[in-house]
Amino acid sequence: MQYMLVFNETPERCALRDDPKEGPAYWAAWSAYAGAVAQSGIMVSGAGLQPPSTATTVRIRDGQRQVHDGPYAESKEMLGGFFVVDVPSLDVALEWAARSPAAAHGSVEVRPVLPPPAA
C-alpha cells in the first residue's frame, strides 16, 4: 500500500537550511534519512519544497480566479517536503515517519494514497 509521508517543520527548523553553521548538519540528517528510505526499496517518489514565501495560492470564487502570493493559512509548521512510500502496512509507514528528522522538531503526517480509479 502506498502512503504519503508529509514533513512539517517549524519556521526556525526550515531556516537552518540556509544557515552557514547549522545547515550542514540539517542537510546531513535529511540526506541520511532519504538515503535509508531509498535503499530500503520503498521509495516511490518524493521531494523537498521551497519555503512558503515562494508559494502561490489559487482559488476560484464566483467564477473568477484569485491568485495570492505565499501560503494562505497561518501555521506554526510549514510543509517542507514529502515522500510517497510503498509499504505493507500503516505500522511500517509510521515506523519510517518516526525516523524522519521532522518527527523530532515538527510533525510527519502519514496518509494513504488513493488508488487509481478502476477502468
For the stretch 53-77, pLDDT in tens is 888 888 899 999 988 887 655 667 8
For the stretch 11-20, pLDDT in tens is 889 889 999 9
Q: What angle (nearest 5°) sits at the alpha carbon of residue 49, between those of residues 44 and 50? A: 160
Residues 6+ apart with CB under 8 A from 23: 16, 17
What pTM value is reported for the model? 0.86
- Assigned architecture for domain 2-49+76-112: 2-Layer Sandwich (3.30)
